[in-house]
Amino acid sequence: MPTYEMELWQTHRWQKETRYYICRLEQDLFGQWLISSEWGGLRVGRRRLREELYDTYDLALARLEQVNRKRIRRKYERALW
């Protein structure tokens, strides 16, 4: 039975004038670490999704930090829900 560490799960949202990007760090049903990314237009209903599996929390967290740097470089701002 996998061990879930829900206190480590994170959700981040970035936004521009017409675009958004959401990234979630969580575990799947088997306990593996998962980065779920969703992005799209604010005015258009289209969106894209991508999921990436990682063996450890540290690897997934490093990827989340990489996504954060990329969003900032592309002029996105952190958004509150």
* Residue 1 domain flag: no
* Residue 27 domain flag: yes
* Residue 49 domain flag: yes
pLDDT in tens, 2-60: 899 999 999 999 999 999 999 999 999 999 999 999 999 999 888 999 999 999 999 99
| Nearest by Cα to 52 from 25, 22, 14 | 25
* Residue 59 domain flag: yes
| Domains held by the chain: number | 1
Looking at the DSSP bridge assignments, the partners of residue 77 are 15
* Residue 38 domain flag: yes
* Residue 63 domain flag: yes
For the question of whether the overall pTM of this predicted structure is more than 0.95, the answer is no
CATH assignment at residue 33: 3.10.450.700
The answer for residues whose C-beta is within 8 angstroms of residue 13's C-beta and 6 or more apart is: 20, 21, 22, 23, 78, 79, 80, 81
* Residue 41 domain flag: yes
* Residue 2 domain flag: no
| Nearest by Cα to 8 from 56, 45, 48 | 56
